[in-house]
Chain A
Amino acid sequence: MPSISSGISIALQAVLTHSQVLEITEHNIANASTPGYRRQSAILTAETPSSINGADYRTGAGQRGSGVTIERIQRFNLSFFDGRYRAVSSEAGNWEAQSSILSHLESVLAENSDDGLLPKLDQFWSGWQSLSTDPTNTSLRTILLDDASSLATAFNRRATQIMELRSDQNQVVGSQVEELNALASEIANLNENISRVISVGEQPNDLLDKRDVALDRLAKLTGAVSTEQKNGEVMVSIGGHVLVVGHDAFKLETRTNPTDTSVADIYWSDNQKLTPTSGEIKGTLEVRDRVLVDQLNGLNTMSAGLIAQVNAIHSGGYGLNNATGLNFFNGTDAASITVNPLLDAASIATSSAANQVGNNTIALQIGGLKTVKGMKGGTATLNEFYNSQITDLAVTTKRSSDNSYQHGLIVNALGNQRESVSGVSLDEEAANMAKAQKAYQAAARVLTAYDDLLDLVINRMGRVGL
C-alpha cells in the first residue's frame, strides 16, 4: 500500500541519484583534458519493485515501482583498441628513437657540407696532384701537410663523435631501464588496489585509467604486452618474459658488456638477457649496437685502407732532402690516424729515386690512389667506399624517419578511435548536466508535493468547522 513515507523515500532517492549523476558529469568535465581519462557515465536503473499486498492484492495493479538508483558507474573503454594502439605505438617508439638519434648523428657529421670527410679527402688527393705538377714547390708541400692533418682530424673527430653518441645512448638506455622498473612497480601496485576494489564488487574506474596510462607508456618503451585476468589484475610480459604478475614486478638492471665495456646490456634479475621486440629501448639499442657500430667500423676500415695505401707508396719514395722509408700517416684506425710527426715539408716523398727533385712518380701514384679501387675487395675507391657509407646512413635515417612518421599517423588514428569512444565531449556533458539538473528539480518538486500532503494531514485534518 502506498504511503507518504515511501513516496518521500522515492523522491529522496531520486534527488540523491541525480545529484550523483551531476557529480559524475562534473568529474567528466573536470577531467576533459586529463591524459588517459576514460569518460564515465552513471547507469541508472529502477529500484526493485515491491509487490502490492494487503487489501489491494489482486486488484489488478502490478508491482509498485520504488524509484531510481545507480546500478554502476560505467567506464567507456574498448580493450580491443588498447591492444592495437599499444602494438602500433611500440613500433612508433622504436622508429622515433632511431630517427631522432640518427638525425642527430647526420647533422653532427655534416657530410654534405664543406666540412664533410669527402671534401677533405678530395682536398688531400688534389694536394698530391698539385704537388706532382710542381714537386719542388715548398709551399705546395706545406699546404699538403695542412690538408693531410685536417683530413686526419676529420677522421678523429668523427670517431670521437660516434663514440660519444654511443655512450650518450648508453646513458639513455640506463634511464629507460629505470623508467621501466618504475612503471612495472607502479603497475604491480595498481594491480593490488584494483583487485581489492573489484573483490568488494566496485568499479575502480580512475585506477584503471592510471594503469592504462602506465601500460601505454610501457608498450611504447619496450613493446610490452598485457593480458587482463579475471580478478582485474594484468599480467605484463616483454618478449615472452613476465614483467608484472599479480602484485609482483620483476626488476631489470644494466650490466657492463664484458667484450665492449663502453656499453651496458640489460638483464632480468634472473640473469636472462632482455631482448625487446619493439619500443624505444629496441630503437635505442639498435642504433647503439648496430648502426653506430657499423658507421664506426666503416670509418675504421676506410682510415686503415687510406693509411695502408698511402704509406705503402710513400715509404718507398724520396723527399727533397732524400728522406726515405717514412710513413705518411701514423695510426691504425679513425681514432688514431695522424700525419707522421717526423714528416716535414721537404721530406714528403715525391720522387721514386734519390737525388731527383723533379721526379714526381710517387706524387702521381699517391694522387692516383683517388681512382684506385682498393676497398671492398677491389670494387670501390676510398671515395666510393665512404660515399656508400654516407648513403647507407642517409637511407637508414630516411627509413626510420619515414617509418616513425607513418607509425605516428596510425597511432594518431587509433588514438582518435579510442578518444572517440572514451573521450569527454563537453557538449554531451552539457546535455547530461541539463538532464540531471531537470530530473533533480523535478524530484525536489515531488518532495514539495509530499510536504504539502503532510502539512494537510498533520495540520489541517480533523479540524472540521473550525
Chain B
Amino acid sequence: MRITNRMMTESAIQNMAENLEKVSKLQEKISSTKQFQVASEDPTNASASLSLRSHLQTLNSYTDAAEMTQNWMSATDNAFDQLEQIAVRANNLILRGLNDSLSGSERALSIAPEMQDLMDEAVEIGNTSVNGQYIFSGYQLNQKAFSLSDSATSLTDYQGNTFTPKVVNYLGDTGSMQRNLGPDQSVTLNVRGDQAILGFLQNLIQASNALKQNNINDTGDPVTDPINLKSTLTGLKSSLETLDQYRTSNGARMRQVDSAANFLETVKLETKSLLSEKEDTNMAEGIALLANQQTTYQAVLEVSQRAISALSLFDYLR
C-alpha cells in the first residue's frame, strides 16, 4: 500500500486520541469509584443498580418502621409490667380487706385510699404515651385513653353517708394500627385499652367502692349489695388474666418485629453488596488497567513522535 505523509500523521493523531480517551475513562472510573457515569456505558448494570437502589430505599423505610414499632411495643410491654405489679398489690390489699378482724373504718379509711392510689396510678399507666402519642387509645393518638369521672349514682359508705364513686371512661376508639415491615408483612402495632385494661381499672374502682362501703361478703341481695369485696377478688383475677393474655400477644408480636428487623438488616447488607458489585469499580483491577493503559499511551506517543517528525527524502537531497 502506498503510504502518504498525511496518512501517517492522521493515524498517529487518531491513535493518540483513542488511547488518551481510554486513559481518561479509566481515570474517571477510579476517581469516581463507579464503573459507569451514564447508563449508556453499561445499560444492563445501570438498570440493575437503579432498581437495587430503589429496593435499598424501601428496605431503609421498613427498617425505620421496624425500629419505631419496637419502641412502641416495648413501651406497651413496660406498661403491662407496671399494671401487673399494681394488680399484685391490689390483690394483696383485697386479701387484707377480707380479713375478718378489720373494722369498717379501717377498711374505708386506711385500705380504700390506698386502693384509690393504685387506681390513679393504673389510670396514669393506661395513659402512657410514646413521642406524645397515647398508645392505648386506638386511632385517637392525641387523646388520653382513660379518664376518671364522678358516677351518676351515689353509694352509701360504712357509716351510712353517701359518697360519689368514680367511673373510668375509655376515650379511645377501636382502631387497630397496622405497620408494614415488608411488602406483604404487616403487624398490628397497638393494644386497645378498652380490651386489655378497661376491665382491670373497673375492678380497682369496684374494690375501692366495696372497701368504702365495708361490703365484704355476698349477702344475697343484688340490690343493696351489687358488688362485694370478695367478688372483686375473682374479677381482679380474671382481668389480670386478660392483661397477661394481651401482654403475651404483644410479646409475640415484638419477637415477630425483631426477627423481621434482623431479616431486613441481612437483606440490606446483601443488597448493598450486590449494588457495589454492579456499579463500583474494582480498584485493584482499575489501577492495574490504568497503569497498563498509560504504558501503552507512552508507547503510542513515542511511535507517533517518530511518525510525525520522520525524516523525508527532502532532508537528503541537496
- A residues lining the B interface (CB < 8 Å): 32-33, 102-103, 106-107, 110-112, 116, 118-119, 121-123, 125-126, 129-130, 132-137, 351, 355-361, 364, 367-368, 370-371, 383-384, 387-388, 390-391, 393-395, 397-398, 401, 412, 416, 419-421, 423-427, 430-431, 433-434
The reply on B258 being an interface residue by CB < 8 A is: no
Interface centre among B40, B46, B61, B62 (most CB of A within 10 A): B40
Q: Give the nearest-CB partner of B141 in chain A.
A: A358
Q: Check if B58 sits within 8 Å of A431, measured CB to CB.
A: no
Within 8 A of A (CB), among B161-189: 173, 175, 177-180, 183, 186
Query: In angstroms, how far is the closest chain B Cβ from the Cβ of A140?
Result: 10
Q: What chain A residues lie within 8 Å of B40 (beta carbons)?
A: 102-103, 106, 393-395, 397-398, 401
Query: In angstroms, how far is the closest chain B Cβ from the Cβ of A88?
Result: 16
The interface size bin for chain B is 35 or more
Q: What chain A residues lie within 8 Å of B37 (beta carbons)?
A: 112
Q: What chain B residues lie within 8 Å of A129 (beta carbons)?
A: 58, 61-62, 64-65, 180
Contact with A along B287-318 (1 / 0, CB 8 A): 00000000000000000000000001110010
B6: which of A387, A397, A401, A423 is its contact (CB, 8 Å)? A423
Q: How far is the CA of A423 from the CA of B313 in the complex (A)?
A: 17
Q: How far is the CA of A344 from the CA of B196 in the complex (A)?
A: 36
Q: Give the nearest-CB partner of B43 in chain A.
A: A394
Given A126-B60, A424-B5, A119 contacting B183 (CB threshold 8 A): no
Q: Check if B4 sits within 8 Å of A391, measured CB to CB.
A: no
Please report whether the interface of chain A is mostly helix, strand, loop or mixed according to DSSP: helix
Given A358-B139, A359-B177, A133 contacting B65 (CB threshold 8 A): yes
| Given contact pairs A358-B190, A424-B6, a sample of 17 additional A-B residue pairs in the complex whose CB atoms are under 8 Å apart | A103-B40, A123-B57, A135-B141, A351-B139, A356-B139, A370-B58, A388-B47, A390-B46, A391-B39, A394-B39, A398-B41, A401-B40, A416-B11, A423-B6, A426-B313, A430-B314, A434-B317
Within 8 A of A (CB), among B31-63: 36-41, 43, 46-47, 49-51, 53-54, 57-58, 60-62
Q: What chain B residues lie within 8 Å of A360 (beta carbons)?
A: 177-178
Q: Check if A420 sits within 8 Å of B7, measured CB to CB.
A: yes
Q: Check if A383 sits within 8 Å of B54, measured CB to CB.
A: yes
- B residues lining the A interface (CB < 8 Å): 1-7, 11, 14, 36-41, 43, 46-47, 49-51, 53-54, 57-58, 60-62, 64-65, 68-69, 131, 133, 137-142, 173, 175, 177-180, 183, 186, 190, 312-314, 317
Q: Check if A357 sits within 8 Å of B141, measured CB to CB.
A: yes
Q: Check if A425 sits within 8 Å of B5, measured CB to CB.
A: yes
Query: In angstroms, how far is the closest chain B Cβ from the Cβ of A324?
Result: 15
Q: Give the nearest-CB partner of B47 in chain A.
A: A391
Q: Check if B312 sits within 8 Å of A426, measured CB to CB.
A: yes
Q: Give the nearest-CB partner of A419 in chain B.
A: B7
Given A394-B38, A398-B40, A356 contacting B2 (CB threshold 8 A): no
28 pairs of residues in contact across A and B, judged by CB atoms under 8 Å: A32-B6, A103-B38, A110-B38, A112-B37, A119-B53, A129-B58, A132-B65, A133-B68, A136-B133, A356-B139, A358-B133, A358-B141, A359-B139, A359-B175, A364-B180, A367-B61, A383-B54, A387-B51, A393-B39, A394-B47, A397-B38, A398-B41, A420-B2, A420-B4, A423-B2, A423-B4, A425-B2, A430-B314
Q: How far is the CA of A203 from the CA of B192 in the complex (A)?
A: 104
Q: Check if A420 sits within 8 Å of B312, measured CB to CB.
A: no
Q: How far is the CA of A318 from the CA of B44 in the complex (A)?
A: 42
Q: Give the nearest-CB partner of A39 in chain B.
A: B4
A391: which of B3, B7, B11, B43 is its contact (CB, 8 Å)? B43
Given A112-B50, A134-B131, A425 contacting B139 (CB threshold 8 A): no
Q: What chain A residues lie within 8 Å of B138 (beta carbons)?
A: 356, 358
Q: Check if B178 sits within 8 Å of A111, measured CB to CB.
A: no
Given A112-B50, A431-B313, A106 contacting B58 (CB threshold 8 A): no
Q: What chain A residues lie within 8 Å of B11 (beta carbons)?
A: 416
Query: In angstroms, how far is the closest chain B Cβ from the Cβ of A409?
Result: 10
Query: In angstroms, how far is the closest chain B Cβ from the Cβ of A277?
Result: 25
